[in-house]
Structure 1
Amino acid sequence: KAARDNLAGLATEQGKDLSDLVLATNTRQAAAEQAVSQARASADLDYAAANRLQQERIGGDQCAAASSIIDKELGL
């Protein structure tokens, strides 16, 4: 009887520990997803700003901007 009670207690404790681990995993996953979302939004803003600056520098034509960058890379 004592051994069975001991095993039942251990199983209950392990179940609680497993539940705590699952909760911690879900919390970390939610935080990671939020961080990725924020990073993506920030990167989108930075990318848009970089494109805007590039277009202003070249006169607004994306083809001319791309051509200018390629020419610069090729040393033309």
Structure 2
Amino acid sequence: MADQPIPQETTKDPERVQTSNGTIWSLRAATRGGAGLYAPVEVRECPRLVMATLAELAEHGVKAVAA
């Protein structure tokens, strides 16, 4: 799954975030409840099963970054 824009009405989560270890994560999908699902930008295809939510990434320290 390549980086594809997520409709803004689907989730309010930022498009990209960076964890404290320097990894940049991009928004790839959203759950039915509207939580964004993220994968590292270096990973071209990532199954939803292994994507992380913003809450999960926040456990590692996270900040929004410019797209």
- TM-score, normalised to structure 2's length? 0.22
**Larger relative contact order (C-alpha < 8 A, sep ≥ 6)?**
2
Higher helix share: 1
